[in-house]
Amino acid sequence: MLRYSLKRILQSALTLFIVITVVFLLMRLMPEEGYFGTGSDKLDAAQKENILRSYGLRDPMYLQLKNFYSSLLKGDLGTSIIYRPKVPVSVILKGKVFYSLYLGLASIGVSLVLGIGLGILMSQYKGKLWDKLGTVYIVVINAVPAAVYYLFIQLYTTEWFKLPILFDVDKPVSWILPIVSMSLGSMAGYAMWMRRYMVDELNKDYIRLAKAKGLKNSAVMVRHVMRNAFVPMAQYLPTSILLTIAGSLYIEYLYSIPGMGGLLIDAIQRQDNPLVQALVLIYSAVSILGLFLGDLLMALCDPRIKLEHQGGSR
Amino acid sequence: MSTMLNKPNDGIDETLFTLAEYDARAAELGGYSNYSYWRSTWQVFLKNRTAFVLMIIILVLLIFTMIQPYLPNQKLPNEIYLDPATKMQLRNHPPDAEYWFGTNSIGQDLWARIWSGTRTSLYIGVVVGFLTAILGIIVGAIWGYVRRLERLFTEIYNVFDNIPTTVILVLLTYIMRPSLSTLIFAMCITGWLSVSRMIRNMIVIIRDQEYNLASRCLGTPTGRVITKNLLPYLVSVIMLRIALAIPIAIGSEVFLTYIGLGLPVDIPSLGNLINEGRLVMMSASLRYQLFFPAIVLSIITISFYVMGNAFGDAADPRNHV
């Protein structure tokens, strides 16, 4: 376990290093207009050159990279140029991280609970109405682009249930729609997985034995099938985190949530290079961390490791 | 060859023999099976009614999309139409007999734009599907078959697999100027990884079966073993991947357009049209501008998704009778 974790940590660190370096180098290929801020047409060539020099963009590449890493290690993510001129990115982010974090965690929780519930429901009514409805839901969510169904959810649920159309921190009702929308994708994944697992498992010998002992169907489900099903569930968690991150880009923009996802889109549209760079780095780091934790969780949940523990305690 | 195999003249009168007509029942008595992989796949596929209906729909849609510009009385997708009475731009004209899907906020015909956009989106989808399949097959085949490279490739894969695709997609399209080739490039860069892993897993399963062992003992070169012994088994899986890559590519295009990195407005695409529809969706009378592209897009993506999965099931020999 320890060896596996160490190897996995090294792998993640290497990935992070490659991603950061590549992102930094690619960003240097961007057109330089992004560095002059508003009123760039009034500057002549010499002034532009001076600005670029002051940002250190005329230094040799290895020096730029070295400076970048040393400031990154000090927690300095750079300074915004256009979005909020001359304000450090970390200051801009400070007020925004929490919205994204809360929404993301809430939607992961919601999708886990609802997705597993739906999967169990579908496997219990296999081939009947619930199963068919669930299948339609899974197909639609998987096939139709998220941007499209998010739009329709915002358009119609706000009318039907009289929910606020935009996000407002002080109104808890306005949190419902963004969280639910963000959960839909991973929910479909969990439901699909859970259904398949339960259906496969129902034909196995230990279930038939449990039934032959005279256990009630619900008891078999709770004590045997579900306990086994939860263990490999961890496998899907990393993907779920990635889906949530991608979802947050749309959702925060759509509901005007002042989080990081909406900020990235703003920064892209205004071509604020340092801000885009910082946000892309943060998103990569978060996903790499998420994948790492998911894999670790899976290794922890592995039944063989559990067996070892039981053996030791006896 | 055939000229060398002249029948020896053994004095049998050829006219006494006639060719028997093929009879399936009689053939079965003799222990002969006319099992054909593709026919069985097709038969199993046909049993899935939903997938079959969707296939018909998508075929009709595809043919219509292709021939639409050549039909009579079609409007141009980028032409701005004027109101004949006022000589002003025909803005947000609701659907009627002249403009079947209405006009958009600057007076362009939505019907023509939707079919033009469908062509663009399908083009992106098909090109990305094929390119990722080709790249993925090459890498996956080498990764799965050449043992010496296996460890190296696995480590490289593990590192790259950690990079979130959304971030790559956003970054690449941000750095390169938005255009058709930018979109296709960015989607290919992110798409081939999963294909290659799937191909690799398939190849690892079948590479050590006896017939491959025999080929290796006979000294068949690696390249030929891969192309002749292994790849034919993967055809169905590859086709499934291409079918599923199309909805994914169309979805990515919508996503990139949505965050402002899509195609310019003068190249209609489904992503562009939905984005235009989104801008006016708050007034109920203009929602048709969102509905029509969204409906066409959903039909296409759902059809490809369901068909791809049904075909994947049908191509599995375990489902053949």
CA nearest to B192, candidates B221, B236, B153: B153
Within an 8 Å CB–CB cutoff, is residue A260 touching chain B?
no
Most confident range, picked from A136-140, A202-206, B13-17, B65-69? A136-140
Up-side HSE of residue B281: CA atoms within 13 Å toward CB? 24
Q: Is the pLDDT of residue A26 over 70?
A: yes
In this predicted structure, the answer to whether residue A307 has a pLDDT above a threshold of 70 is no
**Cβ contact, residue pair B298, A144, below 8 Å:** yes
B316/A212: higher pLDDT? A212
User: How many other C-beta atoms lie within 10 A of the C-beta of residue A290?
Assistant: 22
CA distance B159 to chain A (A): 5
For chain A, say whether B308 makes contact (Cβ under 8 Å).
no
**Confidence category of residue A127, pLDDT binned at 50, 70, 90:** confident
Predicted pLDDT of residue A34 = 64
* Chain A to chain B Cβ contacts (< 8 Å): 114
A73 lies within 8 A of chain B by CB: no
Burial label, B87 (beta-carbon count in 10 A; 0-12, 13-18, 19+): exposed
Task: Report the gap between the CA of B162 and the closest CA in chain A (Å).
Answer: 6
**How far apart are the CA of B61 and the nearest CA of chain A, in angstroms?**
17
Per-residue pLDDT reduced to its tens digit, B237-246 = 788 888 888 8
Ramachandran angles phi, psi of B103, nearest 5° = -120, 160
Summarize pLDDT for A269-287 with one digit per residue, the tens.
887 888 888 888 888 888 8
Q: Is the pLDDT of residue B52 over 60?
A: yes
- The mean per-residue pLDDT over the stretch A38-56 comes to 71
Distance from CA of B89 to the nearest CA of A (A): 28
pLDDT for res B173: 86
Mutate which of A148, A192, A266 to test chain B, going by most B C-beta atoms within 10 A?
A: A148
A251 or A37: which leads in pLDDT: A251
What does the H/E/C string look like for chain A?
CHHHHHHHHHHHHHHHHHHHHHHHHHHCCCCHHHHCCCCHHHCCHHHHHHHHHHCCCCCCHHHHHHHHHHHHHCCCCCECCCCCCCCEHHHHHHCCHHHHHHHHHHHHHHHHHHHHHHHHHHHHCCCCHHHHHHHHHHHHHHHCCHHHHHHHHHHHHHHHCCCCCCCCCCCCHHHHHHHHHHHHHHHHHHHHHHHHHHHHHHCCHHHHHHHHCCCCHHHHHHHHHHHHHHHHHHHHHHHHHHHHHHHHHHHHHHCCCCCHHHHHHHHHHCCCHHHHHHHHHHHHHHHHHHHHHHHHHHHHHCHHHHHHHHHHHC
Give the chain A residue whose CA is nearest to the CA of B250.
Answer: A145
Q: Which residue of A has its CA nearest to B260?
A: A269
ipTM confidence score: 0.77
Query: Which of the pair, A72 or B121, is modelled with greater confidence?
Result: B121
Q: Which residues contact B270 (CB under 8 A, 6 or more apart)?
A: B114, B117, B118, B120, B121, B250, B253, B254, B293, B296, B297, B300
Measured between CA atoms, the residue of chain A closest to residue B172 is A26
Residues from chain A contacting residue B170 (CB–CB below 8 Å): 249, 264, 268, 280
Report chain B residues whose CB lies below 8 A from the CB of A246: 164, 166, 255
pLDDT in tens, A74-110: 777 777 777 777 788 888 888 888 888 888 889 988 9
- Number of residues assigned to chain A: 314
- Is B58 part of the contact surface with chain A (CB cutoff 8 Å)? no
Q: Which residue of A has its CA nearest to B173?
A: A268
Identity at B270, one-letter amino acid code: L
Superfamily of domain B57-319: MetI-like (1.10.3720.10)
Most confident option among A124-133, A199-208, B154-163: A124-133
Min Cα distance A205 → chain B (Å) is 22
pLDDT digits (tens, 9 = 90+) for B289-303: 888 889 999 999 999
Angle, alpha carbons A145-A150-A155 (nearest 5°)? 135
* Lowest-confidence region among A30-44, A166-180, A262-276: A30-44
Given pLDDT bands bounded at 50, 70 and 90, which one contains residue A38? low
Chain A nearest-CA distance from B225, in A, is 33
B41 close to B320: Cβ distance less than 8 angstroms: yes
Asked whether residue A33 carries a pLDDT value surpassing 80, the answer given is no
* CB atoms A284 and B163 under 8 Å: yes
Nearest to B164 by CA among A256, A248, A89: A248
Sketch the domain layout of chain B as residue ranges: 57-319
Amino acid in the structure at residue B71:
L
Asked whether the beta carbons of A284 and B163 are under 8 A apart, the reply is yes
- Residues in B closer than 8 angstroms to A27, CB to CB, are 175
- In B75-134, the residues whose Cβ lies within 8 Å of chain A are none
* Three-state SS letters, chain B: CCCCCCCCCCCCCHHHCCCCCCCHHHHHHCCCCCCCHHHHHHHHHHHCHHHHHHHHHHHHHHHHHHHHHHCCCCCCCCCECECCCCCCECCCCCCCCCCCCCECCCCEEHHHHHHHHHHHHHHHHHHHHHHHHHHHHHHHHHHHHCHHHHHHHHHHHHHHHCCCHHHHHHHHHHHCCCCHHHHHHHHHHHHHHHHHHHHHHHHHHHCCCHHHHHHHHCCCCHHHHHHHHHHHHHHHHHHHHHHHHHHHHHHHHHHHHHCCCCCCCCCCCHHHHHHHHHHCCCCHHHCHHHHHHHHHHHHHHHHHHHHHHHHHHHHCHHHCC
Tens digits of residue pLDDT in A230-275? 666 766 777 777 777 777 888 888 888 888 888 888 888 887 888 8
CB contact under 8 A, A139 and B305: yes
Summary mean pLDDT of chain B: 82
Q: A18-27 b/e with 16+ CB inside 10 Å = b? A: ebbeebbebb
Q: How far is A127 from chain B (nearest CA, A)?
A: 15
Does the pTM of the predicted model rise above 0.90?
A: no
Nearest in space to A103 (alpha carbons), one of A186, A152, A176: A176
Candidate from A91-95, B58-62, B115-119, B159-163 with smallest mean pLDDT: B159-163
Asked if the C-beta of A19 comes within 8 angstroms of chain B's C-beta atoms, the answer is yes
User: What pLDDT does B118 receive?
Assistant: 92
Q: What is the pLDDT of residues A181-191, one digit of tens each?
A: 888 888 998 89
Model confidence band, residue A306 (pLDDT cutoffs 50, 70, 90) = very low
Q: Which of A202, A236, A235, A238 is nearest to A302 (CA)?
A: A235
Tell me whether A156 touches chain B (CB under 8 Å): no
Greater confidence (B2 vs B84) lies with: B84
pLDDT band with cut points at 50, 70 and 90 for residue B92: confident
* Interface touch A144/B261, C-beta < 8 Å: no
Chain B touched by A139 (CB under 8 Å): yes
Contact assessment for residue A163 and residue A174, using Cβ atoms and an 8 Å cutoff: yes
Residues of B in contact with A148 (CB under 8 A): 254, 274, 294, 297-298
**Residues B299, B153: Cα–Cα separation, whole Å:** 38
Q: Which of B158, B164, B290 has the CB atom closest to A151's CB atom?
A: B290
pLDDT at B194 exceeding the cut of 90: no
B238: tokens are 């590859």
Measure in Å the smallest separation between the Cα of A264 and chain B Cα atoms.
Answer: 9
Q: Does B2 or A207 have the greater pLDDT score?
A: A207
Percent of chain B with pLDDT over 90: 10
Q: Is A283 on the interface with B (CB under 8 A)?
A: yes
Question: Which chain B residue has its CA at the smallest distance from A240's CA?
Answer: B164
The residue length of chain B stands at 321
> Chain A contacts of B261, Cβ < 8 Å?
268
What distance in Å separates residue B166's CA from the closest CA in chain A? 6
Bridge partner list, B108: B80
Report the C-alpha gap between B290 and B293 in whole angstroms: 6
What percent of chain B lies above the pLDDT cut of 70? 93
- Contact call for B278 and A283, based on CB within 8 A: no
What is the model's pLDDT at position B94?
Answer: 78
User: Residue A131, CB half-sphere, CA atoms under 13 Å: how many?
Assistant: 12
